[in-house]
Amino acid sequence: MHHPLTQHPGGHGQQGFSTLLAAVFLLSGILLLGALNLQQTGADTAAGDLARDAAASLYLAESAVERAAAAYARGSDCRALVSVRPLALGNGRFRLVAARPTAEGCRIEALGEVPRTIGAPARRRLAVVLHRAGTGSIHLAHWHEVLQPEPAMPIPGTEAAAGEP
């Protein structure tokens, strides 16, 4: 009596092994493509987070400009506009880092910052000249972004002594 497992007429056992080997390679390829797709998705998410934080820090710097413009319109002295302590807004903070009188009005520099869980915080710095109009309103002139690196803002409770920027 012939046992069907011991005989391989026509190479049927090798054909099963070839099919199994092809299935393993096919599954390996699918897993590799899935891993590459997952890696690309993670990179896209990280880039989106960076863009969102950069935009949010710009909006925070604009908030500092608006706050300074309102105080200047109410008659505040230019140098008194500088913020010693950052103000929290949303998931970030802002402050005025410089203010000095000029022939045109009051030149201010505003900083917006959004902390990140990994890496340096997103920071945007704006320089603006505030000019008092005759009607008590403020005209914003020479609005531009300052592209120099800025040190991190102090964490509330650990700031430098009052009077230090």
pLDDT over threshold 60, residue 165: no
Q: Residues 3-33: pLDDT tens digits?
A: 555 555 555 556 777 888 888 888 888 888 7
pLDDT of residue 42: 60
Q: Residues 73-109: pLDDT tens digits?
A: 888 999 999 987 899 998 899 999 999 999 888 999 9
pTM for this predicted structure: 0.63
pLDDT over threshold 80, residue 45: no
Here the contacts of 67-73 (C-beta below 8 Å, separation 24 or greater) are: 67/94, 67/96, 68/96, 68/99, 68/108, 68/110, 68/130, 69/130, 69/138, 69/140, 70/138, 72/106, 72/130, 72/132, 72/138, 73/132, 73/136, 73/137, 73/138
**CA distances from residue 127 to 49, 60, 101 in whole angstroms, order as listed:** 25, 13, 13
CATH of domain 41-146: 3.30.1300
Classify 150 as helix, strand or coil: coil
**Nearest in space to 133 (alpha carbons), one of 100, 155, 105, 154:** 105
Q: Whole-angstrom Cα distance, residue 61 to residue 138?
A: 17
Classify 145 as helix, strand or coil: strand
Q: Averaged over 43-71, what is the pLDDT?
A: 85
pLDDT of residue 79: 92
